[in-house]
Each structure stands twice: as C-alpha cells, then as structure tokens.
Amino acid sequence: MISESLNYLRNDEDWVKTVLIGGVLGLLSILIVPTFLVIGYLLRVVRATMKGDEEPPVFDDWGDMAIDGVKGFAIAFVYSIVPLIIAGVFGFAGIVGAMAGGSDAAGAVGGIVALVGLLLAFVLGLLAAYLIPAALSNYAETDRMGAAFDVGTLRPILTSGKYATAWLTAFAVLFASSIVVGVLNVIPILGFVVGAFVTFYAAVAAYYIIGRTWGELHDVEMMDEGETPGEQPAV
C-alpha cells in the first residue's frame, strides 16, 4: 500500500497545484488558520479513500474546510491533553523538588520524578498518536464529533491487526519524510521551505493509508453482519 499512497496525489493532473497549496499552508502554519485548512484537507482524503475513491480532493470550499479542520484539531487535542498535562505536572514537580531540596538527594529524587513523568507522558502520547487517526476517521465517516470518542465503534478497529499494520505503515511514511527533511535542513532555508512540501505530501500519503484501511475494515464488518458494502440497512 506504500506505493499506492505515495502515488495517490499524482492521480490528479493538477497534483502539483495541490502540493504547492498544501506546502504554502504548512509554511504559514504559525498563523493557525492554515493548520486548520491542512487538517480539513486530510479529513477529505480520509473520506474519499475510505469509499475507495482514488481521485484526491482539491482545495476548495475553504470555509467548510477550515471548520472541518477546527473540529479535527479539537478531536486530536482532546486525545493529546492528558499526556501534555502529565508531562507538564511531573516535569514542573521534578524541577521544583530539585530546586527546593537543596541537596544532592533531593535533586536525584526530583530528577527521578521528572523522568518517570516524562516516560509516562511519552507512553500516553504514543497511545494518543495511535488513537487519533481512527478517531478522525470515524468523525470523517459520520460528520459527528461524538463519533470520534465512540469506544464501541473504535475498539474493534483499534485492536485489529490490520489497523495496527496500517498505522505502522503510515508512521513509516511520516518517519521517512522527517529523515528527508532533516537532510534538507543541512541548508537551513532550503530545509524549512522544501520540508513543508515534503511533509504535506507525506501526511496525505499517511492518511490515504488510514482511510483505505478504515474503509476495508468496515466492509469486512458489514459482510460479517450479512450486509453488502455500501448497502443501506432495511427500515
């Protein structure tokens, strides 16, 4: 699926325009709104690919895309808030304890507290990173923010080997892109500018993998329940 994901954007004859827009938005991400637009675009990728559509979306209906991106950002933030809080609390407690103790022993205890807290935050952060793509996919499918936290729907997806494999594959794509960007950063300005376009391209490829897998898993579930994929249940 990696080759399909890397070629996905090129299924559109105007793919260069899409990459240019995405890269520029990445460069302007400090303004916040461009970040919402990129998230909104990635959600469009998930919606399209989960239905088996190999035609990549375009940047249009900017207002709707921004609103969608805000919702996606909020979902990701909720999943990330616990690791962030734990990292902040333990890190602060460790520093304060070390400074207030006034001894080597107190400093060691403070360092251990900070280290344990940061390790816990790392584990929870990794868990959040695993949960977020599935949560965003369920939101993208239903257009309901509550669906992003629907444990009953998410659990069988998250515990499936297929999703785990897709997540690792998507992670590998993003990790490879970060290596490319790191190499480009040898020339600071080049790395910063070109890196934004490489990162956007890789993010689209990663969410292509997630969207395709989400759609395939739901098709399997429907067939297990005796339904035909795409068929509406009888009323």
Contacts of 121 (CB under 8 A, 6+ apart): 83, 84, 86, 87, 90
Contacts of 39 (CB under 8 A, 6+ apart): 68, 69, 72, 73, 76
**Tens-level pLDDT at each residue, the chain (235 residues):** 888 999 999 998 889 999 999 999 999 988 999 999 999 999 999 999 999 899 999 999 999 999 999 999 999 999 999 888 877 777 666 666 656 555 556 566 666 767 777 788 888 889 999 999 999 999 999 999 999 999 988 999 999 999 999 999 999 999 999 999 988 888 878 888 999 999 999 999 999 999 999 999 876 554 444 444 444 444 3
